[in-house]
Amino acid sequence: MINLQEPYICGKELGFIKQAIQQQHLSGAGYFTGQCERWLEAFTTCPRVLLTTSCTHALEIAAILMNIQPGDEIIMPSFTFVSSANAFVLRGAKVVFVDVHPDTMNINEALIEAAITKKTRGILVMHYAGVACEMDEIMAVAASHGLMVIEDAAQGMDAWYKGRHLGTIGHFGTLSFHATKNIQCGEGGALLINDNRFAERAEIIREKGTNRKAFFSGKVDKYSWVDIGSSYLLNEMTAAFLYAQFKDVKKVSKRRRMLWDYYYKLLVDKQAPHSYQLSEIPQVDRAHNGHLFFMFVQAKDRSDLIQFLKEEEIKAAFHYVPLHLSKYGKKVGQFIGEDHYTSSKSSALIRLPLYYNLKKTEIKKVVTAINKFYQTF
């Protein structure tokens, strides 16, 4: 069976975990947490990075830092993971959805301004498949209306926009190190703080609302409860696992991009309106990270194709159901403007196997099976 995804293992994880155990500091904020954060700050050029238990929790910290209140509004695409919305809904916000581009499935920046009201506090963008949104235009709209921008770059490790790492352009960025991501530690994430005004408070929120860090650095003689917060700190053994993975970021990205290109090369000449179309990634001013390979089929064919591939021992899958179509999304959100592409393209999207250890021969098998499926029509 060719899996849809497999977690990358570099081989050095156990050694770093053993080192963490030997140091007898297994909770968070130890040596490996610091190493991961300093490495990420240098790699992304972000002034302050905080390691978190998940990308979801990084988004929640961002919502707290923004002081989101009941009735506030956050503009975002409906085609995103539920964490993008949940972080703000938990604070009482209303989510306002706008349509996406039909090729990248990223938020359509031209539609944002029409969705802004007096209650709008921020814009959340999600860089789908590690492909950058149109950040210059988005930042300009945000600046003209005094809004904050949150980049959900869960899929964006080692992906770039005009020389800037995804997550470092908005006021806040978030990364995911879930087992399905290019670089992973099972469960983990990071908050990228691009506005230094929020750095100190972010550390307090991550430490359950206490000034524990100030205590350990000698700034106060005891620590206490000074703000709201929660347990958002990654443990040291998981941080050690992640630090080992960081050493191979460029190697992993290079191979995944090569595999992505190989898929595209084999499929591009076969696409047709009656069968499938490939996504198109802008090549001039951004670099993706080979996180996903997806294409669009006729919606009526998608389930049959997924089942056909399964019978050929190939795992394929669809992705997000748009949030505005969900039961809870209808309760806490509103779609502004026409839904030209979000629903139709998401119902036609299919993801193909892509992971570090995938072989070219296996990609050929996937492509052969897809062509075989369409030859039956």
Q: Which residues pair with 126 in a beta bridge?
A: 152
> Looking at the structure, do residues 263 and 284 belong to the same domain, yes or no?
yes
Amino acid (1-letter code) at residue 372:
K
For residue 370, the domain's CATH number is 3.90.1150.10
The 10 Å CB-count burial string (b at 16+, else e) for 32-54 is bbebbbebbbeebebebbbbbbb
Domain presence at residue 40: yes
Q: Is the pLDDT of residue 376 over 80?
A: no
205 & 292 share domain: no
Same domain, 236 and 285: no
Q: Is residue 310 domain-shared with residue 239, that is, in the same domain? A: no
Domain presence at residue 2: no
Q: What is the mean pLDDT of residues 245-259?
A: 98
Last residue of a domain, one of 219, 246, 273: 246
CATH code for the domain in which residue 220 is found = 3.40.640.10
pLDDT computed for residue 3 by the predictor: 98
Strand ranges, E, within the chain? 48-52, 73-77, 94-98, 120-126, 148-152, 160-161, 164-165, 172-176, 189-193, 276-278, 286-287, 293-297, 333-335, 349-352
* pLDDT at residue 95 in the model: 98
Examine the domain organization and report whether 87 and 232 are in the same domain. yes
Based on the domain organization, do 65 and 141 belong to the same domain? yes
- Are 316 and 4 spatial neighbours (Cβ–Cβ below 8 Å)? yes
Is position 8 within any domain?
A: no
293-295-3 Cα angle (round to 5): 45
Q: From 211, 246, 281, give the residue that closes a domain.
A: 246
Residues 174 and 215 in one domain: yes
Tally of structural domains, the chain = 2
Q: How confident is the model at residue 215 (pLDDT cuts 50, 70, 90)?
A: confident
Residue with tokens 């960081």: 246
Q: Is 317 a member of any domain?
A: yes
How many helices (H) and strands (E) the chain has is answered by: 13, 14
Higher pLDDT residue, 329 or 285? 329
The answer on pLDDT for 216 being more than 90 is no
Q: What is the dihedral of CA 65, 169, 186, 19, to 10 degrees?
A: -90
**Shared domain check, 268 and 227:** no
Residue 164 lies in a domain: yes
* pLDDT, the chain, mean: 96
Q: What confidence category does residue 49 fall into, taking pLDDT thresholds of 50, 70 and 90? A: very high
- Domain of residue 363 covers 249-375
Same domain, 262 and 318: yes
Average pLDDT for 71-76? 98
If asked whether residues 329 and 298 sit together in one domain, one would say yes
For helices 299-311 and 360-375, what crossing angle results, to 10°?
130
- Domain assignment present for residue 5? The answer is no
Question: At 108, is the secondary structure helix, strand, or coil?
Answer: coil
Same domain for 160 and 295: no
Distance CA 233, CA 241 (A): 15
Kindly state whether residue 3 falls inside one of the protein's structural domains: no
- What band does 281 get if pLDDT is binned at 50, 70 and 90? confident
Q: What is the pLDDT of residues 320-351, one digit of tens each?
A: 999 999 999 999 999 999 999 999 999 999 99
Nearest to 298 by CA among 369, 342, 350: 350
The reported pLDDT for the residue numbered 377 is 61
Cβ atoms of 301 and 338 closer than 8 Å = no
pTM reported for the whole predicted model:
0.96
Residues 258 and 236: beta-carbon distance below 8 Å: no
Whether residues 156 and 253 share a domain: the answer is no
Q: End of a domain among 189, 220, 246?
A: 246
Joined tokens for residue 157: 């490790």
